Amino acid sequence: MSKVYRATNLPGHVDRLGALELLARCIPDITLDDIQLGSLATTIEPWALNPTKTATLTLKTVPAAISEDENSTEWVFPAAGLIRPVVLDTHFYGLTPLNEVEETVHTDDCIAISGLASHPVGSWQPRGQRSFMWIRDSLPARLPGVRFLLYGYDSRLAGSKSFQVIPDLALSLINELRAGGWGSQSPKSLLFLAHSLGGVILKQAMVMLAGSGEIERQIISGIKGGVLFGVPSMGMEVSDICQMLGEQPNRALVDNLSSRSDYIPALEKQFEGISYVRDMVLIWAYETEQTPTLLHSNGHWSRSGPGSVMVSPESATGGRYPFHLGYSLQINHDHSNMVKFKSSDREIQILALRIQEIVQNSPVDEKGKNGTTQQPNSRAAHGLVIDLKSAAPKDLADDVAWFSAVLLKSFAAPQRNERLEQIDKNADHTFDWAFEDPSIGLSSWLLKGEGIFWISGKPGSGKSTMLKFVWNDDRVAQLLDSWEASENKVIANFFFHHRGTLAQKSFEGLLRSVLSQILQAQPKTCVFFREIVEATFPKLVARWKLREKRKKASKSQDPDSDAENFEIPTDAWTQRLLKDCLKAVMLQDKMDVDIFFLFDALDEYDGPTEFIADFLKQLVNTTSRTRVKILFSSRPWKIFQDEFKSCPGFEIHKHTGNDIRQYMLNFITPGILGEEALLELTEDIVRRSQGVFLWVKLVLQELVLAVSLSDSTDSQILGPKLREKLKRLPDQLDDFYDAIIERLPDIYRWETYVLLESLIRSRGKVLTLDALEILALSRATTAKEATRIFKKEMQEDASMKELRIQNIKTISGGLIELLDDGEFRYLQLMHQTVYEFVERPQFRHSLLGLRGKTTIKNGHSFLCIWYFYQNGWRNQEIANNEAKSSIVFSYQDETELVFHAKEAERTTGISQHSIFASGPVILGWPLLMFAISIGLRLLVRDILRENADAIAQWDSGLLPAMVHSLERNFCKPIEAIQMTSVIVKNGYRVREDWDGILDLFYRIWQKGTKSGPASTSLTAPIVGSLRAPNTEPLTYESAPRSSNTELNGMEWENYVAFVSEALKGLGDDGSLGRVGNNPPNGKSPLLHRSPPELVSKLLMSGADPNILDPTGSTALDTFLDSLSLMSSKSGKLRTDKAVYDAFKSLITHGAILEMQQVFPFDSLADSFKELSYPIDFIKEYGFPKWSKENQEVASSQEIATLQRHHCHKK
Amino acid 632: pLDDT? 98
Whether the Cβ atoms of residue 1068 and residue 1101 lie closer than 8 Å to each other: yes
Q: What is the C-alpha separation between 568 and 530, in angstroms, rounded?
A: 13
Amino acid 174: pLDDT? 96
939 SS3 class: helix
Q: In terms of C-beta density within 10 A (0-12 exposed, 13-18 middle, 19 or more buried), how is residue 690 classed?
A: buried
Q: One fold for both 1-90 and 378-654?
A: no
User: What pTM was computed for the model?
Assistant: 0.72
Residue 565: band (very low, low, confident or very high) from pLDDT cuts 50, 70, 90: low
CB-hemisphere CA count at 13 Å for 1127? 16
Residue 1204: band (very low, low, confident or very high) from pLDDT cuts 50, 70, 90: very low
Whether the Cβ atoms of residue 28 and residue 66 lie closer than 8 Å to each other: no
What is the tens place of the pLDDT at every residue in 764-809? 889 999 999 999 999 888 878 888 887 787 788 888 889 899 999 8
Amino acid 419: pLDDT? 79
Mean pLDDT of 92-121: 95
CA distances from 740 to 709, 768, 829 (A): 17, 22, 14
Q: What is the C-alpha separation between 580 and 508, in angstroms, rounded?
A: 12
What is the tens place of the pLDDT at every residue in 313-349? 999 998 876 666 668 999 999 999 999 999 999 999 9
Amino acid 378: pLDDT? 29
Fold of 1-90: Alpha-Beta Plaits (3.30.70)
Mean pLDDT of 24-48: 92
Of the candidates 802, 811, 863, 467, the one whose C-alpha atom is nearest the C-alpha of residue 631 is 467
Q: What CATH number matches the domain at 91-359, 2.30.130.10, 3.30.420.10, 3.40.50.11540, 3.40.50.1820? A: 3.40.50.1820
**Could you say which DSSP state residue 1010 is in?**
T
> In 10 A of CB 60, how many CB atoms?
11
Residue 1075: band (very low, low, confident or very high) from pLDDT cuts 50, 70, 90: low
Residue 1009: band (very low, low, confident or very high) from pLDDT cuts 50, 70, 90: very low
Whether the Cβ atoms of residue 695 and residue 733 lie closer than 8 Å to each other: yes
Does residue 20 surpass a pLDDT of 90?
A: yes
Amino acid 878: pLDDT? 43
Helix (H) or strand (E) holding 297: strand 291-297
Residue 1190: band (very low, low, confident or very high) from pLDDT cuts 50, 70, 90: low
DSSP track, 75-128: EEE--TT-SS-EEEESS--EEEE-----TTT--EEEEEE--TT--TTGGGS-TT
Amino acid 622: pLDDT? 83
Q: What is the C-alpha separation between 1077 and 525, in angstroms, rounded?
A: 63
Fold of 378-654: Rossmann fold (3.40.50)
b/e map 252-273, b = 16+ CB within 10 Å: ebbbbbbbebebbbebbbbbbb
Residue 886: band (very low, low, confident or very high) from pLDDT cuts 50, 70, 90: low
Q: What is the C-alpha separation between 220 and 206, in angstroms, rounded?
A: 7
Q: What is the mean pLDDT of the chain?
A: 82
Which stretch of 675-684, 834-843, 1028-1037 has the lowest confidence by average pLDDT? 1028-1037
What is the tens place of the pLDDT at every residue in 729-739? 998 888 899 99
Which stretch of 258-262, 466-470, 502-506, 1049-1053 has the lowest confidence by average pLDDT? 1049-1053
What is the tens place of the pLDDT at every residue in 651-674? 998 887 777 787 788 788 888 888
Share of the chain above pLDDT 90, in %: 42
Rg (CA), the chain: 34
Q: What is the C-alpha separation between 1206 and 1180, in angstroms, rounded?
A: 11
Give the distance from CA 620 to its chain's centroid: 33
Mean pLDDT of 1040-1046: 32
Amino acid 373: pLDDT? 34
Q: What is the C-alpha separation between 1206 and 1196, in angstroms, rounded?
A: 15
Does residue 380 surpass a pLDDT of 60?
A: no
* Domain range summary for the chain, segments of one domain joined by +: 1-90, 91-359, 378-654, 656-729, 739-878, 989-1209
